[in-house]
Chain A
Amino acid sequence: MAGATEAVTTPGPSWARRRLSGFRDRETWVALAFIFPWIFGFLVFTLGPMIASAYYSFTNYGVQQIAGLSPTQTVGLKNYRQIVHDPYIATALKNTLIYGLMMVPARIVVALLLALMLMRIGEKLGGIFRTVFYIPHITPPVAIGVLVLTLWNGSYGLVDKALAHVGIQGPNWINDPNWIKPTIAIMDVWACGGTMVILLAALYGVPKHLYEAAAMDGAGKLRQFFNVTLPMISPALFFSFIILTLAALNQFTVAYTAFFNSGSGATNSAALFYAIYIFQQAFKFFNMGFACAMAWLLFAISMIITGINIFATKRFVYYEGEAKH
């Protein structure tokens, strides 16, 4: 009894001691050494510039300040107020959101269909098709931007020529403001190999016995897909959804190469995505302070959308081993 009392009253190691005890292990130091390059890169190339851009978003930083001819002065919320009054911000945000609404669901659906198809064919053929479907994903975005102009040229591009063979007159994909965003979204869907691989891995991870149990309960293929497959791969779907949403908000290279850097004479305002407008303000017009404020708005929008996604999809995402209350 006395012993028991003693055990309760004897003070244990302090909180700080407990937290730091791990650092005594050799493995911890080795692990830290391995992740140090990433931490260094994050601090120097990500966090540092983020902090700097937060500061510059409240300043008049521009050509004269870069050249060291005038001091950088704080301007309060001027750059953020300018965001409200600049009509191109609304255009760029609208373009980005419309594109995202087209690209994200289309890419996930097509990637899932391809992954399901690959599950059904044999290992040998599957390997070939996995490679074929993945190749567009490793095509550089600049090359895709150039491809957009070649493939989708109204009347004279390969796509319209192919459509003409089956009696369809294709639209002027890259010159008609209404078709520019769908065209870029289609090219993104074409390059869905990365998403497909993630979903394929998730599909391979679904335990076979669940399908057997469902079949014994009389569930058909469709029912098995909705009641077994989808819940089991929901974390991968959710991950893809978040990553693709962020990619959509940051669309730059394909659109810039196709519509702002080629002298194509295309409809620039219909392809003015938010990231492109940030780039123009920063590196074409040198309104660095304003561009930094724009970048922080994009960061805030990204966080809000991600937060909403996490909240809204909580019910639908199933993590194996997770306790549901």
Chain B
Amino acid sequence: MEGRKKRIAMLLVVGAAFAAVIAGTAGARVDTKSAGTLDIYGYGPGDDVQENRAAYAASQLSGVTIKREAPSFDDQAFLTRLASGDVPDLVRMGRPSLAYYAAKGVIQPVNSCVDPSLIKQYRAGAIKAMTWKGKLYGLPEFTNQVTLVVNKSALASSGVSLSQVQMKNLPALLKTAKKLTKFDSSGNLTRIGFDPKIDSGFGFPLWVKYFGGNIISKDGLHAQINTPQARKALSFTTAVINAEGGWSKFVAYRNTFDFFGGGNPLLKDQLGFWPMESFIYNVFANNTPKQGIAARYFTNQKGGPITFFSGNGWAIPTKTSNFQAACDYMKAVTSVQAWVTAGVKRAAARKAAGQAFTGLYTANAAADKKLYEDVYHATGNPDYDDAVKYLVNASKYGFELPPTPAGAQFANAYNAAVQRVLTGQQSIAAALKQAQSEAQKAIDASK
């Protein structure tokens, strides 16, 4: 009986919150005149947030029959559909891919259906990543911002204070990394002090940004990989890795980590601190909520926060047969209301399961504000509550790579250079010189 009362009370609270939030955003409803069938590619059945947003978007396009099959985007399958004439009306894909397809003319500009005042809702960094030659080619969805994830128990056991987790003073950062690093009697790593993540998808552009550079020009047509900033980025990060046992030991140990399971590096005390995308806080909050964690900004040399954005985006193929419905759905599914609807339900589900809700981080700044102010409530775990504040603020300092016609070939050029340096196959200068040449050739060939 007591349980039933509790459930009813919770339903009433959630219902009231939902009604209040929706009422607060009702003025921004998507005005649609869509009809016909809408074939969506890359947005099939997914988690609760995805399904609740999809349900909200569908409710806004009542006269449209919606097909959502493929759960995630696959380049080969997408191109096969285009080649066979089975063109989807709307696609969701990673923003780097979207930029590439925009440069190739496979997707079309959406300026005609997205009001400039609506564009202002979205994060500028994400919008820039979807803008090619002055035209907007879609709308961004999630945004993963990179912050430093700190293992508090590692700090405590090594006598390192949280204030020593900083990036302004590089010699001090290196010293902290060494202090946190641990080896066993055989010389094998038992804890990596600081993983700079230079070999990850965001590592190289973020570290070059740290030193004040950009790896590609704003128009996406000039590679800027072989620069003093890039040399400094590789030089410092390899110095960190060498101080922690060298690349072979470092990566061999890191490959044993179970980031997404119950035995994660926090629980096993395998990592001191490292830059990572925001989703990891949600993962850790669910799997090991009692492990001490802190968030800190990834900064530039001057100590100012910077972060690298990544995430998906929505776009409309050039040969779509239902542009209006596609555009209306795209706006609806990335709208404030869609995010808030999903956020309210996610928060309620987490609460019911006794888990923490660490927020949703989207490319829609207005939605983020609403989610943080109206939906998010402190979890009661000071570590995660503090981390959420950092994540919310970090979004203001995000950047993304501009679109380039070279697409994956551009990323391949600099990632391969990083690998060659880390494995000792090439010097920093030689690797960057080769990467610069490869990247520029790829851009020139794709123009």
Contacts and interface: CB of A to CB of B under 8 A. Distances in A.
Interface stretch (B35-43, B271-279, B415-423): B415-423
A264 B419 CA distance: 11
Nearest to A263: B200
Q: Which of B252, B407, B408 has the most CB of A within 10 A?
A: B252
Contacts of B407: 285-286
Given A63-B106, A268-B419, A172 B253 contact: no
Nearest to B445: A287
Contacts, number: 94
Nearest to A282: B76
A63 B423 contact: no
Contacts of A157: 252
A67 B318 CA distance: 9
B13 interface: no
B26 interface: no
A248 B423 CA distance: 25
Given A67-B83, A68-B83, A153-B252, A267 B104 contact: no
Contacts of A237: none
Q: What secondary structure prevails in chain A residues at the interface with B?
A: loop
B248 A175 contact: yes
Given A67-B82, A69-B106, A172-B248, A149 B419 contact: no
A172 B249 contact: yes
Contacts of B106: 63-64, 67, 69
B199 interface: yes
Given A154-B249, A156-B252, A66 B199 contact: no
Contacts of B249: 154-155, 172
A265 interface: yes
Contacts of A286: 75, 79, 407
A66 B251 contact: no
Contact of A66 (B82, B255, B442): B82
Given A63-B104, A176-B248, A285 B188 contact: no
B251 A264 contact: yes
A280 B407 CA distance: 13
Nearest to B318: A69
Contacts of A270: 423, 425
A42 to B, nearest CB: 23
Given A63-B101, A154-B248, A286-B79, A265 B199 contact: yes
Given A156-B256, A268-B416, A66 B83 contact: yes
Interface string B409-442: 1001000100110110100000000100000001
B105 interface: yes
Contacts of A69: 104-106, 318
A269 B79 contact: no
A69 B319 CA distance: 9
Nearest to A272: B416
A154 B252 CA distance: 6
Nearest to B253: A156
Contacts of B254: 265
B186 interface: yes
A106 interface: no
A175 B79 contact: no
A265 B247 CA distance: 10
A67 B82 CA distance: 5
Interface in A244-272: 264-270
Nearest to B420: A269
Give the interface centre of A63, A154, A284 by most chain B CB atoms within 10 Å. A63
8 contacts: A63-B101, A67-B79, A67-B104, A68-B319, A87-B434, A265-B422, A270-B425, A285-B442
Q: Which 8 A-B pairs have the closest CB atoms?
A: A154-B252, A172-B248, A67-B82, A267-B423, A175-B248, A155-B188, A265-B199, A63-B104
Interface of A: 63-64, 66-69, 87, 149, 153-157, 164, 172, 174-177, 264-270, 280, 283-286
Given A68-B83, A265-B422, A269-B420, 10 more contacts: A67-B104, A149-B255, A153-B252, A153-B256, A155-B186, A155-B188, A156-B252, A156-B256, A176-B423, A265-B255
